[in-house]
Amino acid sequence: MSRIGKVPVVLPSGVTVQLQDGSMVVSGKKGKLSRPIPGPVKVDVAEGKIVLSLGSADRRNLFGMYRTVVANMVKGVTEGFTKTLDIVGVGYKAEAKKGALHLALGYSHPVVFPLPEGISAEVEANTVIKVNGIDKELVGETAARIRRLRRPDVYKLKGIRYRGEKLIKKVGKAAGK
C-alpha cells in the first residue's frame, strides 16, 4: 500500500470537487480541470478533504500516482504552475504575440510556436520565457516542446534550457600532433 496514497488532499476554500460518471471535476478561482478516475481507485470527498482508497489490491501502482494527480489538480486551480526557460546564444530571442511565441533561434527563418489552449507565456528581457497554466502536465509538455526547438548544445552551451538546469560542457576535438 502506498504511503503517499494514504495522505488526504486538503481542499482550500473556494475549491469545489464533483464526482460524476467515473471522472472528477475540480473547480477553483483559476479555472476548472477534469480527469477520469480508474475503476480500482475510490474517491471520497468529506470535511474539506479528498481521500483516495483502493477497491482491489492488484492495482496498487495507481494509488499513489492518482493521489498526486488529484493534489496537482487542486494546486493548479488555486495557484497554477509555471516553468521558466532561459534562451542562451548570440542573437537568440523570443517574443509573445497573439497566443504564439515568435522565436529567433539561429535558423534562417523565425520559428512560430502556437501555444495550446489553457497555456499562456510571458517573455522577459527577450531571453526568459515563463510558461503558465493550471494543468501541470500541459505546462510541462509545452515547456518541453519549446525546449526541443533548440536543445542546449553541450559543446557551446547555447540553446533553450530550463531555469536551473545544469549543463556540463564537453571538450571539443583535440588538435592533432
Identify the CATH assignment for 3-78 out of 3.40.50.970, 3.40.50.80, 3.90.930.12, 1.10.1530.10: 3.90.930.12
Domain boundaries, the chain: 3-78, 81-162
Report residue 131 CA to chain centroid gap.
Answer: 9
Per-residue pLDDT of the chain (177 residues; tens, 9 = 90+): 568 778 888 999 889 999 888 889 999 999 999 999 887 788 888 888 988 888 766 666 777 888 899 999 999 999 999 999 999 999 999 999 988 999 999 999 999 999 999 999 999 999 999 999 999 999 999 999 999 999 999 899 999 999 998 999 998 888 766
Q: How far is it, in rounded angstroms, from Cα 166 to Cα 86?
A: 12
Q: Are 36 and 25 in contact (CB under 8 A)?
A: no
HEC sequence for 85-138: EEEECCCCEEEEECCEEEEECCCCCCEEEECCCCEEEEEECCCEEEEEECCHHH
Query: At residue 31, what is the residue type?
Result: G
Q: Quote the pTM value.
A: 0.86
Under CATH, which number does the domain 81-162 receive? 3.90.930.12
Q: How many CA atoms lie within 13 A of 159 on its CB side?
A: 19
